[in-house]
Amino acid sequence: MKADACSFQALLVAVTARQWFNDMLGPLGYQFRLNSFCGYNTHSEYCSDARMRHTIVDVYHHNFLELIRQGTRLYTGGEVTSMT
């Protein structure tokens, strides 16, 4: 991936765009077959002044913790694809 001033490399990349994954990356020339894993999510409120600054993703267990206005949301499922 290249940005204006730098480039990034990673062995694994997680895109949490759900069913809009290909709509988002298609214009860049990427098309991936997705396998959907349906999951459940739960909302949590902060119990202190500590705040997350970005989404945290566990690519091995298909979970991610996302910032929402009221606190955080934990997803226990996600869309994944094979790069091979």
Q: What is the structure's pLDDT at 42?
A: 62
Q: pLDDT by residue (tens digit) across 22-74?
A: 777 778 787 666 554 445 556 666 666 777 778 888 877 777 777 777 777 77
Largest CA distance in the chain: 43
Query: Do 72 and 52 touch, CB atoms closer than 8 A?
Result: yes
Ordered strands of the 63-68 beta sheet: 41-44, 71-75, 63-68, 56-58
